[in-house]
Every structure is written in C-alpha cells, then in structure tokens.
Amino acid sequence: MTMENLGNNGQSNGKCPFMHGASTTPDTSPLKWWPKRLNLDILHQHDEKSNPYNSDFNYREEVKTLDFKALEKDMHDLMTTPQSWWPADWGHYGGLMIRMAWHAAGTYRVADGRGGAGTGNLRFAPLNSWPDNGNLDKARRLMWPIKKKYGNKISWADLFILAGNIAYESMGLKTFGFSYGRPDIWQPEIDIYWGPEDEIMAPSENRYADLEDTSTLETPLGATHMGLIYVNPEGVNGKPDPMKTALHVRETFARMAMNDEETAALTAGGHTVGKAHGNGDASKLGREPEGANIEDQGFGWINPTLAEKGPVTSGLEGAWTTNPTQWDNGYFEMLFNHEWELQKSPAGAWQWEPVDILEENKPIDAANPSVRKNPIMTDADMAMKMDPIYREICLKFKDDQEYFSDTFARAWFKLTHRDMGPKTRYIGPNFPGEDLIWQDPVPSGNKDYDENDVRAKISSSGLSISDRVSVAWDSAKTFRTSDLRGGANGARISLSPQKDWDANEPERLSKTLSILKTIASDTGASLADTIVIAGNLAVEEAAKAAGYSITVQLVKGRGDASQEMTDVNSFSNLEPAADAFRNWSSGKSKSSPEELMVDQAQLLGLTAPEMTVLLGGMRVLGANHIDNKAGIFTDKEGALTNDFFVNLTDMNNTWNIVEDNKYELKDRQSGEVKWSASSVDLVFGSNSILRSYAELYAQDDNKEKFVNDFSKVWTKVMNADIF
C-alpha cells in the first residue's frame, strides 16, 4: 500500500485489500473491552524507551555548561526580529512569548502538584491543541533556530519560561529571577486528569456541582472549562458578568497557589503588554495541531486570511494599553479612567470597549502604524475593576508603579517556578537568593553525628517495628514527584498541619515523636534523620526475623523546618484521601481505593513492581493504620516475609465479600476465616498485571529477592526529596 492510497488524515480509502497488523490508534486498543480494568499506565510513563538520549545523559548537569549570556542575548534578539511566516505585533514577539510561558506554567494546580512548566508538556496533546493555546505552536517554532543552535544544553521546558522572562525584560520589567534545570519529557503526561468532559469547551456545569458556588469545582481541576487555562475571557460559559467572573478567577487562581494580590498583579501584568487576536472569521481557521492534516507539519489553526486580517486566536481583538510593548502602568490608567461597554469583536466574541476615549490614548494597530484602534478588556479585566477586593488592590497598584512591578515580578517567578522544588535545585546565574515560603525552605541538617549511637538509642527505646515503620513512612509519603514537594526532609510531620492528619494517627504519632525528639536532641541528629533511621532500623530487624541480613543505607543531612517556614494552607493540599500502603481510607473520595493507590504510587515515583513489593512488605511489617488487620496475611507479623503474596495466591483459600471494601479469606475446605482484606489487597490477585507481580514474589526462590527489592523501594521513598 502506497501513500497515494491514503487520505489527508492517513486513513485508508478502501483501495487497499488488507490492514496493518499493529494496534496504532487509541480506538483499536485491545484493552478497551474492559473499561473497569485498573489502568497502571501512569506508573510506566516516560519509560527510558521513549527517551532518545543515552542513559548517561543528565540535562541538569548539561545545562550548567551552557553559555547563559550568549543564549539570553540571542533570545533578546529574537523578540524584535520579525519572521515573514508569522508577523510580530508592533515588530515585537514579546506578547506571544509571554503567553506561551504563562500557558506552559499556568496548568499547575496545588491539589496534586501536577501540571506546570517543569517538563515542557506544552509540546504535546492535549495542551498543544487546546483552544486557549491557539497559535502557541507558532511561538515554539519561532524559537526553533535557538533550540537547534544550543541543542542538548537547553531544554524546551526551560526555553518556554526563559522566553517569557526575556520578553518582559525587553519591554522594561525588572524580573525577579530565573532558574534553569527543567528536563524535557518525550511523551504526554498521561497521569494528569483534565476533566470529565468528552468535548473541549463544554459548559462549565460539567465540572461544577453548583456554578454559583465556585468551591464546587471538581478537585483537582483548576479551570472553568477543559481547553482553558483558567476562565473564559468572554465570561462564565461565554456570558459576560464581571462579578461572577471575579468569583471564578479567585477560585481558579487559588488552585494555582495564588492569593488575591498575586492574582490581580498577574492579570494586570499579563495584559500590560501584547494583544488579543480576533480580527477575522474563526470558522476559516484550520484544525488544531493534533487534528490537522499531515502536510501542516504540526502547525495548527492555519489562517488563510493571515496576510489580510492578521492572526485569529482568542476571538477577542485589541490591546489593553496605549503602549502594548512597554512595561508601564497603562493597564490601570486605561481600566479606571474610562467607562466600558460590551461590544462584539470582528470574530464575534464578547469584549469590553471604552464608551469614550481620546484618539491619542488608543493603541496603534499591531500591523498598521497609521491606524489606531480601540483598546479592549476581557470579563476578567472588568472583574478587577468591579470586584471590591480586586478593585482596592488594583487602585493601590495604579498609585504605586514600583510596588506593582515588584508584586508582579514575584508572582510571575512563583507562577513559572512553583513546580521546580526547593531552591537548592535552582541552576544558573539569575535566580534570587531570597528564601520564599512557597519554596518550602528547610535548613541544612547536621551530618556530624554518630549514626550507631542513634540506632542504639532507638533500639532500646521500646518503639515497635510497626511504630517506627509507620512514623518513617508517614513522614516520607507526602512527597510528590509532580512538584517535588513533601517528603521526609524538614520533619514537617511534627508540625501543623501534618501532625494532626487522621492518616498519621495523631495520638500514636505524638508518643512516637516525643521519644524520637529526645534521641535526636541527645545525639545531635536532626529529627528528620532520626525518623528515617528509625524506619531503616525497623526494616533491617524485620529482614533479620525473616532470616536475611541487610543494611538500609542512610543519606545524612536532613534538616528540621520550623512552623514559621511552613505554609499551613499550602501543606494542607498534601493531606491524603487514602493511604493504601497503610490500608487506610478517609472515605471522602469518589475514586476507588485501588485508583487512589495508583495515584499515590505515581506521585511517589513508583513503578507497578515497586508498588507491589512495597505494599506486600508494609502489610507483613504490621504498618496498617491503627488496629486495622486487613491484608496482614501472615502469622509472623513483624518479619519481612513474602507471606502476603504466598497466601494471596494460594488456591486453597477463597475470598468472600462481607460488605463494601471488606473481605474475608477462608480455608476452601473447612470454611474457617483466616484473614480479612480490603480491595487494595485483593486487587493484587484480581488484576492480571498485578497478579503477575504477586506470583513472582510468592515463588519459593524469590524470598530473598522480595526482601532486597522491598529494601530498595523503601530507600527510594525515604530519599525521594534529597536532591
């Protein structure tokens, strides 16, 4: 079959008498027949097979060899070097590059830490084909000569954010800083849940229980529609209502970790430069990148009237300020010094335009310097004027340009660096030295102490294996690979809010910590290190009880954070709805415990085999929440045996449901109840993939492998936040 037989979308036109044998489209997946199957794919995304670099390539080391000054000069030059294939508004690409950086970073949400700019995910579907990201494929292609020149020394992920910073600097803003060090991914982040809708830009009711109560937006979502970063610029569901829009702006930005002042600064600062594009008929545009024809080569929204009408992107048309390529206070002057009325753009979108404005205050047309056109405001802009809280903030900004610039620069830095982890990970010459509370600062810990002395005191403390495993696990389990927050470093399990979480058994935790704090004080070790040592020692003792001698290696130097270093509201987002590894569920999630287990494992950076061996080990160690005995399929609790898997896969046993999420294991012959279980226990026997791992660890010749593999995964979790 030749390409001559294929249509524009690569589909056979019927002339070919056979089909190829591989399943190469989502619709032909052999697993679509079993939709209730627990999907483990997110645990295996970004496999080394998708990465074109050699295994020894380390971007975070490679970028340190970059000529930072040369790259940044080239980026400055790019801003004002128009290309014939894509016009630059007023001869400056700054507005486009800022929008690209914002939309790369702005998908971040505090609930699960997913999204954000840290991976360069904007290159891939669905983000590259969202309506809100229209024509950002052009922005990336404008940077291709620079990416090509500097190659492996600069990632797309870093370039996206650097472009926004350089754009603002070239327009007159003193930025707060920038860090390199975001490695690229090579496939979409399939772990990110973008919403329940089956169509882009479906009505907001699809993701709100009550559209009038913005807090009912489905968690963890951070936008009013799938296909938008935050809110519809025309108003909620495309109906202008600035006061209602204000409520939705407040909620969506809060879910992106921004307070009211930061939200107002970002809204104003984002619209101080650049313009919206809607000077034409949107129906004439080509398909989005993922839906376009093969000859479009990844470009999307191709506009046949580009030369005549200019770009069409949002549908709104116009600039917000008199001087859209200058960082100034023009946004507030324009917003507050004019009355505004609803108008329709040439593309048919609702926008606000001034009732009366002097000709000299109108911005010059982006393509024709001899023409001035009305400025515009979106519904979100009008919210800044009409909502009393935002209004007060914006009037303060209006009267103090320096204060506005500093507030915006800090908020922009937070927006673009929120998912990079602690400041110790920052790379390059331009990041700020100031400690910021949203960076979750942790002081350096002492390394000069006697680990054996700590171990001896823990051994004689009276703390059980279960006590020690539980406190170490609870300290480390908050880590999220999504935004590199949480983990054992900082010992924040001893601080609010973590010390009071139900998942952490507050009463038991308090008793355990009081003992470990004394040991830490007596030995000079940090509490954070002491907690991890306690867990490591428990694992070693459990392995010895199973007949194996192992040493769980410690990385010294964790520090202890203070309550003042801890943003309580921010850390509340790390509170788990369930902890499968301790067989606990709050019952507050509509997702099944098994689904929450996979989500938890993915955020911890575990593969499916690692998740399996970790859970089986935690069960026999007796690390369940409070007195829950579900899943402890052993008569030797506290010994690191493979009994969980042996008894789970034993055909002499039967499983019987008692009530929702409660099961009993009975002897097949006698009917005697031997053990109880939850659904997260039984899924390792019912799911064919997980059962394959369970059977592996149940083998007689893999008892030692089980111990060694558990130790490796345990160490991985304990050290996850050491960078």
* pLDDT, averaged in runs of 10, over the chain (723 residues): 34 47 63 76 92 95 98 98 94 98 97 96 96 96 98 98 98 98 96 92 93 95 96 96 98 97 98 96 92 92 83 94 98 98 96 98 95 98 98 98 98 98 96 96 97 98 98 98 98 98 98 98 98 98 98 97 96 96 93 95 98 98 95 97 98 93 94 96 96 98 98 98 94
pTM of the complete model beyond 0.85? yes
Pick from 164, 140, 137: which is nearest to 285 by CA?
137
Report the alpha-carbon distance of residue 110 to residue 480 in Å, rounded. 11
- Structure confidence at residue 29 (pLDDT): 67
Beta strands 578-579 and 584-585 are antiparallel
SS (H, E, C) 484-537: CECCCCECHHHCCCHHHCHHHCHHHHHHHHHHHHHHHHHHCCCHHHHHHHHHHH
Report the alpha-carbon distance of residue 703 to residue 645 in Å, rounded. 10
Active site residue 103: yes
State both tokens at 517. Answer: 């704090």
Annotated catalytic residue, options 103, 225, 338, 417: 103
600-659 pLDDT, tens digit per residue, is: 999 999 999 999 999 999 999 999 999 899 999 999 999 999 999 999 999 999 999 999
Indicate the DSSP class of residue 53: S
Contact between residue 524 and residue 503 where contact means Cβ atoms under 8 Å apart: no
Report the alpha-carbon distance of residue 242 to residue 245 in Å, rounded. 5
- Structure confidence at residue 13 (pLDDT): 44
Looking from the CA of 358 toward its CB, the CA atoms found within 13 Å total 6
- Structure confidence at residue 11 (pLDDT): 42
Pick from 526, 511, 509, 510: which is nearest to 471 by CA?
509
- Structure confidence at residue 567 (pLDDT): 96
- Structure confidence at residue 20 (pLDDT): 57
- Structure confidence at residue 508 (pLDDT): 98
C-alpha separations of 429 from 68, 118, 140, 179 in Å:
8, 19, 24, 8
- Structure confidence at residue 26 (pLDDT): 65
